[in-house]
Amino acid sequence: MSRPLLEARDLTKNYGTVEALRGASFTAYPGEVVSLIGDNGAGKSTLVKCLSGVEQPTSGTLTFDGEPLHLSSPNDARDRGIETVFQDLAVAPDLDPAANMFLGREILKPGVLGFFGVLDKKAMRRQASEHFTRFGATLQSIDVPIAALSGGQRQSVAVARSVAWASKLVFMDEPTAALGVVQRERVLDVIKRVRDEGIAVVLISHNMPEVLSVSDRVEVLRLGRRVARFKASDTSVEELVGAMTGALTQEDADQ
């Protein structure tokens, strides 16, 4: 395989006395879909937060594109083309979908108005609208607060926002959890299209058939460590579940 895009080694993360990560390693290769699976509490969300600059690991090293990487804030990750759909979505419920998509990346009016920080709401709304259409977020209207949308719609907005800005890697922490069948298919479709543009996708999901159908590889996290890695084409639901529960172990997986 080619050189890894992102490699995490021996990450630990303690919250007080809770050890959320106990020497977790993780690898993502350029342009692949890799699923990160594990039981509830295995540390998947914590790992994603450490890899997107939201939390700082207690110890461990990261390399990105072969260079050592230190993420001291979410901006450090964003600057490198890494975007994240957080499990709790992290959207501002009182703002509309367009405002959420451009949050932290607002388009300003040209000239003097822009100097004073005046927003170009029309441009943002237009671009957001095109983008949501392209990435299958179905909304009746684009100027209602996110809170007025259904859980599924909120999730699609968060997905659309992340893929709008990612140029290298997208983390999606349970992006299909609240979705109906149609919307779920649409998100999986988005994942494949993003991958086809050469952007790596890290998918977290509890739905094993979904994981097997969309991924190139699967990494398994258990009790804060990586316990197994599989090629999606040579594994099965039984094997994945075995690794998640500890019934099956791979010797070299935590290297």
Partner 1 sequence: MTTDEKTTMSSLPDERRTPLIRRLTGANTLWIGLVLLVLVAAFGAIRPDAVFQVTTLQFLLAETAVLLVLSVGMTFVIITSGIDLSVGSVLVFASVSSALAMNVVSGGDATNAGWGVIGFGLLVALVSGAVWGLLNGLLISRAKIPPLIVTLGSFGAAQGAALLLNNGSNVSGIPDRLNRTFGSGTYFGIPNIVIVAAVVTALGALLLSTTRFGRYTYAVGSNEEAARRVGISVRGHLTKVYLLAGTLAGLAGFMGNAFFRVAVVTGHETDNLNAIAAVVLGGTSIFGGTGSVVGTVFGVFIPAVLEKGLVIIGVREFWQPIAVAIVLVAAVWLDQTRRRARNQR
Ligand X SMILES: Nc1ncnc2c1ncn2[C@@H]1O[C@H](COP(=O)(O)OP(=O)(O)O)[C@@H](O)[C@H]1O
Nearer to ligand X, 15 or 115 (CB): 15
Q: Is 45 among the residues that bind Mg ion (CB under 5 A)?
A: yes
d(CA 147, CA 130) in angstroms, rounded, equals: 21
Q: Out of 2, 17, 40, 141, which residue is the one contacting ligand X (CB under 6 A)? A: 40
d(CA 30, CA 216) in angstroms, rounded, equals: 11
Q: Is 103 among the residues that bind partner 1 (CB under 8 A)?
A: yes
Interacting residues with ligand X between 6 and 25 (CB under 6 A):
15, 18, 20
Sheet with strand 33-37: strands edge to edge:
82-85, 169-173, 200-204, 33-37, 217-222, 225-231
Q: Out of 12, 153, 155, 215, which residue is the one contacting partner 1 (CB under 8 A)? A: 153
* Per-residue x/- track, 71-110, Mg ion (CB under 5 A): ----------------x-----------------------
d(CA 175, CA 179) in angstroms, rounded, equals: 8
40 binds, among ligand X, partner 1, Mg ion, none (CB under 5 to 8 A by kind): ligand X
Nearer to partner 1, 2 or 141 (CB): 141
Q: Is 42 among the residues that bind ligand X (CB under 6 A)?
A: yes
Torsion region of 223: left, alpha or beta (phi above 0 gives left; psi -120 to 50 gives alpha):
left
Report CA-CA distances (Å) from 50 to 25, 72, 83, 223, 232. 12, 10, 13, 16, 25
* Per-residue x/- track, 107-146, partner 1 (CB under 8 A): -x-------xxxx-xx--xx--x--xx--xxxxxxxxxx-
Q: Which long-range contacts (CB under 8 A, 24 or more apart) does 115-124 make?
A: 124/98, 124/99
Q: Considering the complex, what minimum distance in angstroms separates the CB of residue 121 from partner 1?
A: 8
